[in-house]
Chain A
């Protein structure tokens, strides 16, 4: 399951940010997202969250969303895995 969530997030980042499959496969646990990827503005984050909810069938509370969540690729994957397990 853990692998699935990570794959889904890679695909989602590619869809939202228009990254190539090479760029997306190169993302590591400690790859920085927010701040490092200029395309990731507040509108993109909003779309990403809603799409994440739809694709993983989870609900994300706006209180849970902060800078930390999008700080690194690993943070985002771990957050999503926790939500899926809930």
Chain B
């Protein structure tokens, strides 16, 4: 039977945030998935959720939380920062009794806040994510006949926040993104794209899908999580 999700909530910063959970209630391995950020999250969600179903078939539970201000969240994105998202990652890990973390792309900027063993896929610097968002804004402005530059947008954003490709980025998030780097430690493993039959779905212009990647990623996480942190 196709594994069915459980809709759960976790609390962070006084708010209740949604999470999607798969797998046995009494699983001895619970993998917290920290998804890519902003547009990249939408483009990879289907692949991640299919990977969660595969994990459930292997009796590994998993949780995909909404970060405050994203997806179903009723909190304003403009009030978030990398710090509030790192707290959310840590709160979700504790409340879901997570034993392991899988972080993808920008999720890797949050993962070390959980203190759990981490497997990373295609980690990215905050500055690269910001640059892409700024470029999309500059090119949309250009199409609308406006000439803007990254420097000018950042100065404006530091005062009032910025709308970048439909995301309300507040001054705190802007400042944090410029500096944020994935933190390396002994608890971190990095999966190569070739290990998980991976294609860079997060770069696609449209949300995509890759059943091969979902299955391979679940297999990889099952093996990896069986050998550490238990």
- Our pick among A41, A47, A48, A62 for the contact of B138 (Cβ within 8 Å) is A62
- CA–CA, A54 and B128, complex, Å: 9
With both chains docked as a complex, state the minimum distance between the C-beta of A60 and any C-beta of chain B, in angstroms.
Answer: 9
Q: Mark A45-80, 1 if CB is under 8 A from B, else 0.
A: 111111100100000001001000000000000000
CB distance from B140 to the nearest CB of A (A): 5
> How many angstroms between the C-alpha atoms of A20 and B115 in the bound complex?
40
Binary CB contact string for chain B from 133 to 151 against chain A (1 if under 8 A, 0 otherwise): 1111011100100000110
- What residue of chain A has the Cβ atom nearest to residue B150's Cβ? A62
13 contacts between A and B (CB under 8 A): A15-B204, A39-B206, A42-B139, A44-B205, A45-B135, A46-B134, A47-B132, A48-B203, A50-B132, A50-B135, A62-B135, A62-B150, A65-B135
Complex interface: chain B residues within 8 A of A45 (CB): 135-136, 139
Q: Is A17 an interface residue (CB 8 A)?
A: yes
Which B residues, 80 to 139, have Cβ-Cβ distances below 8 Å to chain A?
Answer: 128, 131-136, 138-139
- B149-A62 in contact (CB<8A): yes
Whether A35 sits at the interface, judged by CB under 8 Å, is no
Given contacts A44-B203, A47-B205, 14 further A-B contacts (CB under 8 A): A15-B200, A15-B203, A16-B200, A16-B203, A17-B205, A18-B206, A39-B204, A43-B165, A44-B204, A51-B200, A51-B203, A54-B128, A62-B149, A65-B135
CA distance A80 to B136 in the complex (A): 20
CA distance A53 to B110 in the complex (A): 24
Chain A proximity mask over B166-209: 1 for CB below 8 Å, otherwise 0: 00000000000000000000000000000000011001111010
When the two chains form their complex, are residues B199 and A15 in contact, meaning their CB atoms are under 8 A apart? yes
Residues of A within 8 A of B (CB): 15-18, 39-51, 54, 62, 65
**If the complex has contacts A16-B200, A62-B149, are A39 and B135 also in contact, measured as CB distance less than 8 A?**
no
Residue of B nearest to A11 (CB): B200
Cα A40 to Cα B133 in complex, Å, equals 15
Q: Is residue B79 within 8 Å, beta carbon to beta carbon, of the partner chain?
A: no
**Is there an interface contact between B205 and A43, defined as CB atoms closer than 8 Å?**
yes
Do A46 and B135 have beta carbons less than 8 Å apart?
yes
Give the contact-size bracket for chain B.
20 to 34
Contacts of A49 in B (CB 8 A): 132, 135
A16 engages B132 (CB within 8 Å): no
A18 touches B208 (CB 8 A): yes
B59 within 8 A of A: no
A42, B203: Cβ atoms under 8 Å?
no
Given known contacts A54-B128, A62-B149, A17 and B204 CB-to-CB distance under 8 angstroms:
yes
For residue A6, give the distance in angstroms from its CB to the closest CB of chain B: 19
The residues of A that contact B150 with a CB separation of less than 8 Å are 62
What residues of chain B lie closer than 8 Å to A44, measured between beta carbons?
203-205
Q: Complex Cα distance A17/B135, Å? A: 18
**A36 CB → nearest B CB, Å:** 14
Contact: B204 with A16, CB < 8 Å? Answer: yes
Interface status of B222 (Cβ within 8 A of chain A): no
